[in-house]
């Protein structure tokens, strides 16, 4: 089961707080379902969604809704369940109840629980959300711009700033900010899914922080190694051309320590010298050795 399917499963099991919630949920779920078959109200690969909608239709209108699985005899891997109304009188009763324009339905969303139920039905019918371990993206698909505009403007008032675009002839409302997606899932009733998303985000943030620290430490090590290699080469040149006696006592001790411990950082090398020298003081001595080596190279 995908993350999007698990969200829809949780939403179908969420509580509807009043009779109006049941109506607007069913209206949004069926009216925005992307079905093309004549006489089919809803199609899904998740049977519990179909059964829930069938129960709501019976409660709301008393019609007899049929749940069918046309692939049962075909032994298909992906079972597609259909919700249909076979009786003409039932179809007429359905249209009388749910055939109202979207604007009229939105006017009935007086309570926050009803607005959440309507949005829940929208997501069940035309919504999807990407697995948060991959990226943060939630979207709703609409057949025309007018519907998308109405939904976007309504829920912008309640703190859900949907972005809008067009893809393959459909209007898309989407969220890409993880906090907004978490808030929306919680608002609709998918609290467990929202918590799961938060857990994934925490793991990703910890992993990213560890990678940043590791990369920083690796870069520092590489800098230390590169600097040490140059310093050893400079000291070896001085030894070859002039000998350590050419250097002052402080520079001699520094050169000997660096040759003996080429892998140490400046701070660690200060501890080896054990003379109270700071890292800046040691760095000054090493730069002096590099200057002497550079002068010898120019002479050659």
pLDDT (tens digit, 9 = 90+) per residue, 44-98?
777 777 777 787 777 777 777 777 776 654 555 567 778 887 778 878 888 888 8
Q: Is the pLDDT of residue 4 over 80?
A: yes
Q: Is the pLDDT of residue 281 over 90?
A: no
What per-residue confidence (pLDDT) applies to 163? 94
Q: Which two tokens stand for residue 62?
A: 């008393």
Sheet hosting strand 81-84, strand order edge to edge: 40-44, 81-84, 66-68
Q: What is the DSSP string of the chain?
A: --HHHHHHHHHHHSPP-SHHHHHHHHHHHHHT----STTEEEEES-HHHHHHHHHHHHHHH----EEE-TTTTTT-SS--EEEE--SHHHHHHHHHHH-S-HHHHHTT--SHHHHHHHHHHHHHHHEEE--TTT---EEEEESSHHHHHHHHHHHHTTT---EEEEETTEEEEEE--HHHHHHHHHHHT-HHHHHHHHHHHHHHHHHHHHHHHHHHHHHHHHHHHHHHHHHHHHHHHHHHHT-GGGS-HHHHHHHHHHHH-TT--HHHHHHHHTS---HHHHHHHHHHHHHHHHHHHHH-
Q: Is the pLDDT of residue 202 over 70?
A: yes
What per-residue confidence (pLDDT) applies to 292? 86
Q: What is the pTM of this model?
A: 0.66
Among candidates 36, 41, 37, 33, which has minimal Cα distance to 64? 41
Among candidates 279, 240, 276, 235, which has minimal Cα distance to 257? 235
| Numbered ranges of CATH 3.10.28.10 in the chain | 3-189
Architecture of domain 3-189: Roll (3.10)
Question: Mean per-residue pLDDT for 17-32?
Answer: 86
Render pLDDT for 114-142 as a digit per residue (tens, 0 to 9): 999 999 989 988 889 999 888 899 999 98
What per-residue confidence (pLDDT) applies to 161? 92
Q: For residue 172, what pLDDT band results from cuts at 50, 70 and 90?
A: very high
Render pLDDT for 239-270 as a digit per residue (tens, 0 to 9): 888 887 788 888 888 888 888 888 888 888 88
What per-residue confidence (pLDDT) applies to 175? 94
């Amino acid at each position: 089961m995908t993350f999007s399917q698990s969200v829809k499963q949780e939403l179908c099991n969420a509580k509807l707080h009043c009779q109006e919630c049941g109506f607007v949920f069913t209206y949004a779920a069926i009216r925005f379902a992307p079905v093309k078959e004549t006489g089919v109200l809803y199609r899904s690969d998740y049977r519990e969604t179909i059964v829930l909608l069938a129960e709501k239709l019976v409660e709301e209108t008393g019609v007899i809704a049929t749940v069918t699985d046309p692939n049962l005899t075909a032994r298909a891997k992906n079972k597609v369940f259909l919700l249909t109304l076979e009786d003409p009188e039932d179809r007429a009763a359905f249209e009388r109840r749910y055939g109202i324009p979207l604007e009229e339905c939105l006017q009935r969303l007086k309570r926050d629980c009803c607005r959440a139920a309507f949005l829940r039905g929208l997501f069940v019918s035309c919504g999807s959300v990407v697995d948060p371990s991959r990226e943060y993206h939630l979207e709703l698909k609409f057949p025309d711009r007018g519907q998308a505009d109405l939904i976007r403007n309504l829920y912008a008032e309640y703190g859900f700033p949907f972005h809008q675009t067009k893809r393959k002839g459909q209007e898309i409302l989407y969220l890409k900010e993880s906090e907004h997606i978490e808030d929306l899932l919680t608002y609709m009733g998918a609290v467990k899914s929202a918590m799961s998303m938060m857990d994934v985000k925490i793991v990703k943030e910890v992993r990213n922080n560890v990678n940043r620290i590791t990369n920083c430490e690796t870069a520092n090590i590489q800098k230390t190694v590169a600097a040490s290699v140059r310093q050893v080469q400079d000291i070896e040149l001085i030894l070859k051309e002039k000998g350590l006696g050419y250097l002052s006592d402080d520079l001699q001790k520094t050169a000997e320590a660096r040759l003996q411990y080429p892998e140490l950082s400046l701070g660690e090398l200060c501890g080896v010298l054990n003379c109270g020298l700071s890292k800046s003081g040691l760095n000054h001595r090493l730069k002096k050795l590099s200057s002497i080596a550079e002068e010898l190279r120019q002479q050659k």
